[in-house]
Amino acid sequence: MAFSFEILHTDGRARHGRMHTPHGVVETPVFMPVGTQAAVKGLTPRQVADAGARIVLGNTYHLALRPGDDVVAAMGGLHRFMGWDGPILTDSGGFQIYSLAPTRKITDEAAVFRSHIDGSLLELTPERAVAIQENLGSDIAMCLDECPPFGTAPDYMAVAVRRTLLWAKRCRESHKRADQVLFAIVQGGFDLALRARCADELRALDFPGYALGGFSVGETAEQMAAALVPTAELLPAEKPRYLMGVGRPEDLLAAVMAGIDMCDCVLPTRNGRNACAFTDSGQVRIRNACHERDPAPLESGCGCYTCVHFSRAYLHHLFLAKEMLGPTLLSLHNVAFYCRLMADIREAIARGQLGKLQEARLARWRGSL
């Protein structure tokens, strides 16, 4: 089995590590761009790699519906299908249990979805979620879980945790692919006792990695930050720790400070498509009239393709003209910014200077608002 994880440096709770997968080595902490439907929106795999990304995500629910996991398997697996030769993590469809709640029904046996494409039914049992991910051939697969929204009643949150544990055991029993590892997901909302119970039972199953689900589902940034440290400490120290679906730059820093190794979010490409760029000095809204005659790049000193070749004035023009190149160029810069931020974080951990980096970055970002 070609998967392992080692911790190289620590700085407080933060860890600089190295994750070995069948498709390459990933330095952690790492940000993973999201390619829900086998594509990071608006970018080629070469652009994603050149921006600094080493691992990307795909999604079980979406790829099962279209083109079908059997099609992906027939095309040689997800790596070959999407032209990405680095590691891939696939989400199990658990997030869609939250995000597509109006179109699904859930029992202990399965989550049944009404397809958002053609109205057909998709039954996602733990066994089916694993089988889809084995067909996709990702390096890291995720257990199917139930992700309740913030504010869920305590009684139902306990039901969701019981179901998540039941499904994790069924996923573990059904997972057979030797060149793929399966990560478990800890749920429990903001009830630390419930989280601890969930983590204890999942640790006993000895998964190769563990994730925290149920964040960025309606809570405030302050509530999330307060819960990160005690929930991260519930996860095994020797295994990779993954915070799912959280991605503002300040949240990434808080996650790493709490001991998280892996994060993902659609924010870099979603904001890029909406004319918003992330920089070390804060966000730049490129549609604003102040950029109409600005010859400067999005971010001085950034080595991404966008900043090396184009001015703010040109990018401003692209969005006003509704040229598709505009969203591509801003998405490319944003992915590069996130990858560079994580590289800076890894270097700061190795030097024992992460606290200083966090203080300096937050001061600059807040000053731009």
Active-site hit among 11, 139, 261, 264: 264
Encoded tokens for 257: 């400070």
> What is d(CA 143, CA 60) in angstroms, rounded to the nearest whole number?
11
> What is d(CA 258, CA 93) in angstroms, rounded to the nearest whole number?
26
φ/ψ (deg, to 5) at 259: 105, 15
Q: 139 an active-site residue? A: no
Type of residue at 25: V
Q: 206 an active-site residue? A: no
Active-site hit among 69, 91, 139, 280: 91
> What is d(CA 309, CA 320) in angstroms, rounded to the nearest whole number?
19
> What is d(CA 6, CA 3) in angstroms, rounded to the nearest whole number?
10
DSSP assigned state of 220: -
> What is d(CA 363, CA 357) in angstroms, rounded to the nearest whole number?
10
Q: Which residues of 62-89 are buried (b: 16+ CB within 10 A; e: fewer)?
A: bbbbeeebeebbeeebbbebbebebbbb
> What is d(CA 47, CA 340) in angstroms, rounded to the nearest whole number?
14
Q: Any idea which residue has 């996709």 for tokens?
A: 136
CA distances to 66, 98, 119, 185, 328 from 114, rounded to whole Å, are 14, 14, 5, 24, 32
- Catalytic sites, residue numbers: 91, 264
